[in-house]
Amino acid sequence: MDRREALRNVAILLGTAISAGTTDVLFSSYTLPESEKNAVTFSAEQIKTLTEIADVIIPTTKSSAGAKAAGVGKFIPMMVNDCYPAKQQQSFYNGLTAFEARAKKEYGKSFALIPLAERKKMLTVLRQETLDQKTNKLPEKVDIAYFFTTVRDLTSLGYFSSEIGCTKAREYVQIPGSYDGAYPLKPGQKSWAT
């Protein structure tokens, strides 16, 4: 089973929590040409920003660790580079750049360095702008709205397909054995259902 197939299964379990755009990328029957992979390069600062965004979306609770502990910050750029066509990779990257520029303009520093209350405020404003754009209440800000929708979707997918998401945030029955997220399957073998 490849990564795209595994994530399709997670997307089905999450139901309508995933946007149509992300569902389209995951359910597309094509393989991304090698020439379109890694169309953009994410800096260490951008990965840190993605990590902090994901951790605001799915924070640590009493019962389970959050998105940061699950490694979602590194999962997001990997998925964008490996699964999204070059044009969508560029749109996501442009949106991330615009979002980071907004943080620096409003707070004088990177999103990853501002206090949690301001992070939540920025993401709440961006969420509302994305919703308003979709209902034609704001001028089009395609890249930043696409960025928000994609980062939200990939945070959910990354978290709920991680060991923490599968074993701590959800009920988990340890059958047939311990959790192994990279367990090799024989060609044609069905995946384990737990």
Which amino acid is it at 112? A
Tokens of 193: 């259902």
Residue ranges of the chain with pLDDT lower than 70?
1-32, 136-141, 169-181, 183, 189-194
Which amino acid is it at 176? P
- HSE, side-chain direction, 13 A CA sphere, residue 135: 6
Read off the pLDDT of residues 81-133 as tens digits, 9 standing for 90 and up. 988 888 899 999 999 999 999 999 999 999 999 999 999 999 999 988 888 87
Asked whether 193 and 173 are in contact (CB, 8 A), the reply is no
Asked whether 159 and 58 are in contact (CB, 8 A), the reply is yes
- Which distant-in-sequence residues (6+ apart) come within 8 Å of 27 by Cβ? 8, 11
- Number of alpha helices (DSSP H) and beta strands (DSSP E) in the chain: 8, 0
Which amino acid is it at 178? S
CA distance 101 to 93: 12
CA distance 50 to 58: 12
What's residue 78's pLDDT? 93
Q: Say what the alpha-carbon torsion angle 165, 168, 169, 175 is, to the nearest 10 degrees.
A: 80
- Residue 101: burial class (beta carbons within 10 Å; 0-12, 13-18, 19+): exposed
CA distance 87 to 113: 29
Tokens of 73: 């910050």
